[in-house]
Homo-oligomer: A and B are copies of this chain.
Amino acid sequence: MDTALDRAVRVFCERGYHATSIGDLTAAMRLATGSVYKAFRDKQAVFLAAFDRYAAVRREQTRSAAARGSNGRERLRHVLLSYVEHSQGIEGRRGCMVVGGTVELAALDSDVRARVNAQIETNEAFIAGLIREGQADGSISAHLDVDDTARLMICITQGMRVVGKARLPLDGERLVGVAMKLLA
């Protein structure tokens, strides 16, 4: 079932919610219509389950990227680099379910809105934590405002997903190099 959900994630990422029909879903998930409705109450429930799975995978990927750094600053740098990588190429143009869900459904579906908000706030708190770690280990200036910087970083990461979906090229090293100025 998780593998079927992974396939649903890909379709929802690429086509969004409304442009994805049950037919698209059954084709991607290799399940018949009845089977989908046996496993999920309706289309929204498939979307929510796919979103939860997507969010969990992305959280894990972000945390493992952070683990590649040896201090707070480096951990944050790897997180940003990871975001650029995921915003590019085939995955970049496929798109992000968080920004997709936000843009397409935040105004129409309070369940989706609650989940995207939770995911954004979790990411923001994680970034804020990395900044504090950097301040504690001396790799990041102690004077900067943690919350404001974290929120701007969230804007940057979400924006990269938009720009990546528009297929504009993003140079990871250069872009992140500029973004690291925010830690001064």
Chain A positions within 8 Å of B, measured between CB atoms, are: 14-16, 18-19, 93-95, 99-100, 102-104, 106-108, 113, 116-117, 120-121, 144-145, 148-149, 151-152, 154-163, 165-168, 170-171, 174-175, 177-179, 181-182, 184
Q: From residue A150, how far is it (CB to closest CB) to chain B in Å?
A: 10
Given known contacts A18-B104, A151-B163, A157-B159, what 19 new A-B pairs fall within 8 Å (CB)? A14-B107, A15-B107, A15-B108, A16-B18, A100-B103, A100-B104, A102-B165, A106-B166, A120-B168, A145-B174, A148-B171, A148-B174, A152-B156, A152-B175, A155-B155, A158-B159, A158-B163, A159-B160, A179-B182
